[in-house]
Chains A and B, each alone.
Chain A
Amino acid sequence: MTDHATATHPATPASGTVASGTEASDTSALGTVATPGDPTSGHAPVPLRSPPLGQPAEQVRDRLVRGAQTAVLLVGVAVQLTSCLPQLIANHDRFGPWWTELVAFVMLACVAVAIAAGVVHPRPMPRALAFALCGVCVAAAALASMPIPAELLLVADDWSFGIAGWYILALLLPMRMRTIAVFFACHALVTVAEVLFKGVPERHITVQMGMVSVSVFGLEIAVALLAVVLHHTASDAGEAARREERTRTAEEIAEATHRDHQARYARLLDTTVPLLTGLAYGALDPGDERVRRRAAIETARMRQLFAETDDVSDPLLHELRAGIDVAERQGVSVQLAVRGEVRPVPQPVRQELVAPAAAVLASARSTARATVVRTPAAVRVSVVADAPAEIAAAVDTERRSRTEITTTTTNGKLWVEAVWRTKSP
């Protein structure tokens, strides 16, 4: 590499460029922004907070849902203690086997305790458990109404009808409206089956039953609809929180970018300005191959500066740029193209992605094209250069655990591509 540098270009005094390119040691998303070879911002890294993406929305929703669940549970417990319990006692000795009602009451009380435990527990209740408890509610309601004659079903004497619905609602509140409706329908069907089995009572009693069930279900479904509104509010609130976090990150990035840009524009003064003045005063001959080469390099350098928006703030590109700097110092004109949004890449992966690219860039003879492509499925760093084919072998033997590498050589061109796949295609 040193041979190369002295052979093709008067060696430039080495600055901290190479060293700082590999020194970033953080593992966070936006990590640190160290500015290589720049004495003004030096090596003081600018810490950037990595936002816990997606978390706020979940947290907000969880809190809101738990609150609503507690409210519905309290309604259920209140109904069970103030309305169901007196009726249960009153029903003693009225309709034959009283124990079924007693067992059902205890079952429902157990469900209430389980819901309370679920609300307090930090992790949300598993869906399967919630469904099982809903089944218990429906079964308890059926069990409690077993001894009650058909004409008294659904009215005050049949205390279990309404209470089961409240507990089902408390259990299923975090889920979709459709799920809640399905369980309510189950509950209603079981009751209808019971009425049919015991013999359909007189018409005015049937109508009364219908009215009772409509008012009971109506109230419960209204509460369920409120929960749906709550879900929407939660996601809106989460989105707002995320947006705010993004804005804050973007501000910090912009600040770091600005500093870096200023430093790099300042560096143009040392290289571009002498070239331009030389050309303007006729001291340099545009026909001279060496002058044209210098112009090509300066152009590439300036293009990179113009093309950059906030790309510089991501460590991956920053480390790749250190490699590009090395190549440029050796007189190689490097074209850099970047596509896709900045996304977090852990430091060890970054190292594996950048190292082969830097190796190829360092041994390029005159031109190189470096690219970075970031999609949700993969991060790719690639370099095509007129570098000797032996480099491919050297790059291939490097140990790697997180990335894949592909090398291709054709007509004196070497192409090395390192891919970090985050999702199978």
Chain B
Amino acid sequence: MADEITVTVVDDHPAMLVGIEQWYAAAPEPLRVAASGATSKTAWLPPGDAADVVVFDLQLAGQTTPAFGELRRLVDAGRNVIVYTMRDDEQTALTCLDLGAVTFLTKTEGADHLVSATLAAARDRPYTPPALAGALSANTSSDRPKLSIREEEVLVEWFQSESRDLVAQRLNLSPKTVTTYLDRVRLKYANAGRPARSKAALVARAIQDGLISVDDL
């Protein structure tokens, strides 16, 4: 089972753990929850420390503030972290991206997004779910990366419709091109702010895949 992707799930709701295991079992590629627990300790101790991807709930029991510190430590240790949270505000999403999370998913976004995001994260490929796209399109901070008009459009339409087909139809693009635009935006963000291994890996992989060229940087 060399190709199997292993995941550590940090979430304090047992129902979530069961749900995630179910979703992974039905995934098109082999995905397995290697470890799960209610605190980030799970991700540091065997067997959770060797998993390819960490699915991380920002809001853990007994904590009143989002666990940005824990997220930063995991990212600095070179882990691929998917933030999976109840929080739906753009500031949280942007903070997580800047800290180096590979992607940001809200719990209203279902199985498809989590599975796709996990597969992408394990391979250092970008994945931008709608909630994150919305946060990026509403980002007004002064250090936001410069986006083209088309990229802005794709971001906002993807957030609104949650459907690549609808976005493609509206903007007269192919669904594949829609994904390319989303990926490019994600890479611009990977190339900005605080340096992290996960960001560098995203950019390196995108160059290998021919998604961007070295000149674009």
CB of B192 within 8 A of chain A? no
In contact, B165 and A410 (Cβ under 8 angstroms): yes
A384 engages B156 (CB within 8 Å): no
A384-B162 contact given A340-B138, A406-B170, A425-B152, CB 8 Å threshold: yes
Produce 1/0 per residue, A330-351, CB < 8 A to B: 0000010101110000000000
A237 at the interface (CB under 8 A from B): no
Within 8 A of B (CB), among A328-385: 335, 337, 339-341, 369, 371, 373-376, 380, 382, 384
Contact B159 A339 (CB under 8 A): yes
Which of B88, B160, B162, B166 is close to A307, meaning CB atoms less than 8 Å apart?
B88
Query: Residue among B89, B108, B130 with the most chain A CB within 10 A?
Result: B108
Contacts A337-B131, A339-B138: A380 and B160 contacting too (C-beta < 8 A)?
yes
Stretch at the interface among A204-212, A258-266, A280-288, A411-419: A411-419
Q: Which residues of chain A come closer than 8 Å to B170, judged between CB atoms?
A: 406, 408, 415
Contacts of A248 in B (CB 8 A): none
Instruction: From A303, A335, A371, give the contact of B134 (CB < 8 A).
Output: A371
Q: Is A95 an interface residue (CB 8 A)?
A: no
The reply to whether B140 and A375 form a contact with Cβ atoms under 8 Å apart is yes
Q: Which residues of A contact B108 (CB under 8 A)?
A: 303, 335, 337
B41 → chain A, closest Cβ, in Å? 27
Fill in one digit per residue for B56-69: 1 if any A CB lies within 8 Å of its CB, else 0: 00000000000000
Report the minimal beta-carbon distance from A377 to chain B, rounded to whole angstroms.
Answer: 9
CA distance A369 to B90 in the complex (A): 18
Interface size band for B: 20 to 34
The answer to whether A215 has its CB under 8 Å from any CB of chain B is no
Within B24-51, the residues touching A (CB, 8 Å) are none
Q: A309-B89, A337-B159, A339-B159 are in contact. Are A384 and B166 (CB under 8 A)?
A: yes
- Does B22 count as interface, using CB distance less than 8 angstroms? no
Chain A CB within 8 A of B173 CB: no
Contacts of A425 in B (CB 8 A): 149, 152
Report Cα–Cα, A415/B135, bound state, in Å. 20
Q: Hey, what's the 0/1 contact readout for B128-170 against A, CB within 8 Å counting as 1?
A: 0011001101101000000001001000110111110110011
List chain A residues, Cβ under 8 A from B161: 369, 382, 384, 408, 415
Contact of A376 among B88, B90, B140, B157 (CB under 8 A): B140
Give the CA-CA distance A375 to B134 in the complex, in Å: 11
* Distance in Å: Cβ of A295 to nearest Cβ of chain B: 14
A384–B169 Cα distance when bound, in Å, is: 14
B86 adjacent to chain A (CB < 8 Å): yes
Q: CB of A306 within 8 A of chain B?
A: yes
Q: When chains A and B are docked, how far (Å) is the Cα of A307 from the Cα of B137? A: 19
Q: Hey, what's the 0/1 contact readout for A179-212 against B, CB within 8 Å counting as 1?
A: 0000000000000000000000000000000000
Chain A residues contacting B89 (CB-CB under 8 Å) are: 307, 309
**Per-residue interface assignment for chain A, residues 379 to 411, with 1 indicating a CB less than 8 Å from any chain B CB and 0 otherwise:** 010101000000000000000000000101011
Closest residue of chain B to A340 (Cβ to Cβ) is: B138
A178 to chain B, nearest CB (A): 24
Residues of B within 8 A of A303 (CB): 108
Query: Are B160 and A417 in contact, with the CB atoms below 8 A?
Result: yes
Determine which of A376, A380, A382, A410 lies in contact with B169 in the assembled complex, contact meaning CB atoms within 8 Å.
Answer: A410
Contact partner of B159 (CB less than 8 A), chosen from A307, A373, A410, A411, is A373
With A340-B138, A371-B134, A375-B137 as given contacts, are A413 and B159 in contact (CB-CB < 8 Å)?
no
CB distance from A370 to the nearest CB of B (A): 9
Q: A413 contacts which of B90, B140, B166 (Cβ < 8 Å)?
A: B166
**Closest partner residue, chain B, to A308 (CB atom):** B88
Q: Which residue of B lies closest to A416 (CB)?
A: B160
- Give the chain B neighbours of A406 by CB distance below 8 A: 170
Given contacts A306-B86, A309-B89, contact A369 B166 (CB under 8 A): no
A369 to B157, CA, bound (A): 13
* Pair B90/A340 contact, Cβ less than 8 Å: yes
The answer to whether A373 touches B149, judged by C-beta atoms less than 8 angstroms apart, is no
Interchain Cβ contacts under 8 Å between A and B, 5 examples: A303-B108, A371-B159, A380-B156, A382-B160, A415-B163
Known: A339-B134, A375-B140; 19 extra A-B contacts, CB below 8 A, are A309-B89, A335-B108, A340-B90, A341-B138, A371-B134, A371-B159, A371-B160, A373-B160, A375-B138, A376-B140, A380-B156, A380-B160, A382-B160, A382-B161, A384-B162, A384-B163, A413-B163, A415-B166, A425-B152
- What are the 6 tightest A-B residue pairs by CB atom distance, in nearest-first order? A340-B138, A339-B138, A382-B160, A339-B134, A371-B160, A307-B88
